[in-house]
Amino acid sequence: MPDAPKSDRPDRVVVPLRVRYVECDPMRIAHHSAYPVWMEIGRTELLRAQGANYRDCEENGVYFAVARLNIRYKKPARYDDELELLVIGHPCAGVKVEHTYELRRGGELLMTAQTTIVCITADGRAVPVPPGLLP
């Protein structure tokens, strides 16, 4: 199991990742579809570092939907690479939370990304971000 995420600030976390074989194409390069999954792991760990978790939010009727996803692939990640994903949460008003991401292998920048997450109810209505979830 990877080390716990590192965070010295409540608005960011660094999550260690390792590229698994199942996430790769036949050339052993991480497939583009793995990156949004890694970003989800990062958001989950950021929420956990802030003292909250998705399970409690969902039990209270608040769900998270990705409304915008923008990824800039710079260099490939390869099978068994040890990576670090920096996730930064940006406070927003209303129903959304924005995040930025940097994926690195050592000091080498592999990817940058941004997401906008919207808080919704089980029936899909937008609701305000619950208190305490914003960095």
Give the residue numbers annotated as catalytic, written as ranges. 25
Q: Please report, to the nearest 10 degrees, the dihedral formed by the alpha carbons of residues 20, 99, 68, 18 taken in order.
A: 0
20-28 — which CB contacts under 8 Å span 24+ positions? 20/79, 21/79, 21/80, 24/78, 24/79, 28/78, 28/79
The two three-digit tokens of residue 134, written as one number: 């914003």
Q: Got the DSSP string for 70-101?
A: EEEE-S--BTT-EEEEEEEEE--STTEEEEEE
